[in-house]
Amino acid sequence: MMEEECLSEVESLHVIQDIDALQQQGINASDINKIKSAGICTVRGLKMITKKRLCEIKGISEAKVDKIKEAANKLEADNFITGYDFAEKRKACFKISTGSTELDRILGGGIESMAITEVFGEFRTGKTQLAHTLCVTTQMPGIGHSGGKVAYIDTENTFRPDRLRPIAARFNLDADAILQNVVYARAFTSEHQMELLDLVAAQFYSEPGVFKLLVIDSIIGLFRVDFSGRGELSERQQKLAQMLSKVQKISEEYNVVVYITNQMTADPGAGMTFQIDPKKPVGGNILAHASQTRIMLRKGRGELRVAKIYDSPDMPESEATFAITEAGINDPAD
């Protein structure tokens, strides 16, 4: 079978149905618009959300929710699929290069789409530099991947667009064109971060197949500020879980790579995380279970950093050494 034919067969398993299709099932346009305003634009997205959450949308009553869910089930019936069909579906997954040959190798080719990859480490270990490098490598064609746009949510004011220029030059790409393909938003509160995710979903939906990477740097920073103290920890974790569930759905629904960064409790002032081991990533079990692949970064000599696969559904625990250079994440010089 020709590659093109294989691709269209794989893509047919990823048909995205607009929630406007609910009108055929008797749901009125104004209710559909209310759901869209909550960042739910597809029938699959609707099926991924609980009735309770739908009831929280202003103007959508419980009775309406039942009707809407029923209509969505008619449009996309639930079915078990075989392992074989699931493997076919997963052929649409692609990997984005980190810029480091070794790190790509231990990741089985790079950072995978349809999943959340979390990178954590102490300050200056290269989490943000890796995010910058991915903004460029995402736009290059790779195996099973034709290159695409990037959505970048910055919670710590550390995105520096000009950092992309030398990285683009390394790959012989036009820096202005690279920057045009990165949509950027600064989040100021954890709530704002959540709202931005709705915008991201709407944008991914409005330009189907165009976006290939979502960066959230960092996923947890604003939660640690907004929910300070032991009394607020359970609420923080609950809100964090909701956000991660949204992020997970975006990664699967739109087949994008999701790269999130996380902090560690090395800072003795960060007492609000209540962890005894100062080398642990923050976010507790909620974050640990939400990320499919977890990578720990630590400092090496000079510009060198060591990445360790901490958790992965299909790759063994192993380490890779890379360098942080002017041209982004790269192989060590010698």
Binding site for ligand ATP (CB under 6 A): 121, 123-129, 158, 324-326
d(CA 60, CA 197): 21
> Does the bond joining 190 to the residue before it have cis omega, within 30 degrees of 0?
no
Question: What's the closest the beta carbon of residue 325 comes to ligand ATP, in angstroms?
Answer: 5
The residue type found at 76 is: E
d(CA 150, CA 177): 12
In degrees rounded to 5, what are phi and psi of residue 211?
Answer: -85, 135
Q: Of 280, 290, 283, which is closest to residue 313 (Cα–Cα)?
A: 290
Question: What's the closest the beta carbon of residue 185 comes to ligand ATP, in angstroms?
Answer: 18
**Is the Cβ of residue 142 or residue 300 nearer to ligand ATP in the bound state?**
300
d(CA 93, CA 102): 21
DSSP E strands, the chain:
95-96, 111-112, 115-121, 149-154, 182-186, 211-217, 257-262, 293-299, 304-311, 319-325, 328-330
Task: Using DSSP bridges, classify how beta strands 149-154 and 182-186 pair: parallel, antiparallel or unpaired.
Answer: parallel
Is the Cα dihedral 137, 141, 144, 146 positive or negative?
Answer: positive
Question: What's the closest the beta carbon of residue 239 comes to ligand ATP, in angstroms?
Answer: 22
- Beta bridge partners, 294, equal 118, 311
d(CA 70, CA 46): 11
**Is the Cβ of residue 93 or residue 327 nearer to ligand ATP in the bound state?**
327
**Is the Cβ of residue 68 or residue 116 nearer to ligand ATP in the bound state?**
116
Question: What's the closest the beta carbon of residue 158 comes to ligand ATP, in angstroms?
Answer: 5
**Is the Cβ of residue 255 or residue 262 nearer to ligand ATP in the bound state?**
262
Question: What's the closest the beta carbon of residue 4 comes to ligand ATP, in angstroms?
Answer: 39
Question: What's the closest the beta carbon of residue 129 comes to ligand ATP, in angstroms?
Answer: 4
Question: What's the closest the beta carbon of residue 175 comes to ligand ATP, in angstroms?
Answer: 14
**Is the Cβ of residue 148 or residue 328 nearer to ligand ATP in the bound state?**
328
**Is the Cβ of residue 254 or residue 322 nearer to ligand ATP in the bound state?**
322
Question: What's the closest the beta carbon of residue 7 comes to ligand ATP, in angstroms?
Answer: 35
Other beta carbons within 10 angstroms of residue 8's beta carbon come to 10
**Is the Cβ of residue 39 or residue 121 nearer to ligand ATP in the bound state?**
121
**Is the Cβ of residue 114 or residue 168 nearer to ligand ATP in the bound state?**
168
Are the beta carbons of 260 and 280 closer than 8 angstroms? no
Q: Of 229, 148, 208, which is closest to residue 183 (Cα–Cα)?
A: 148
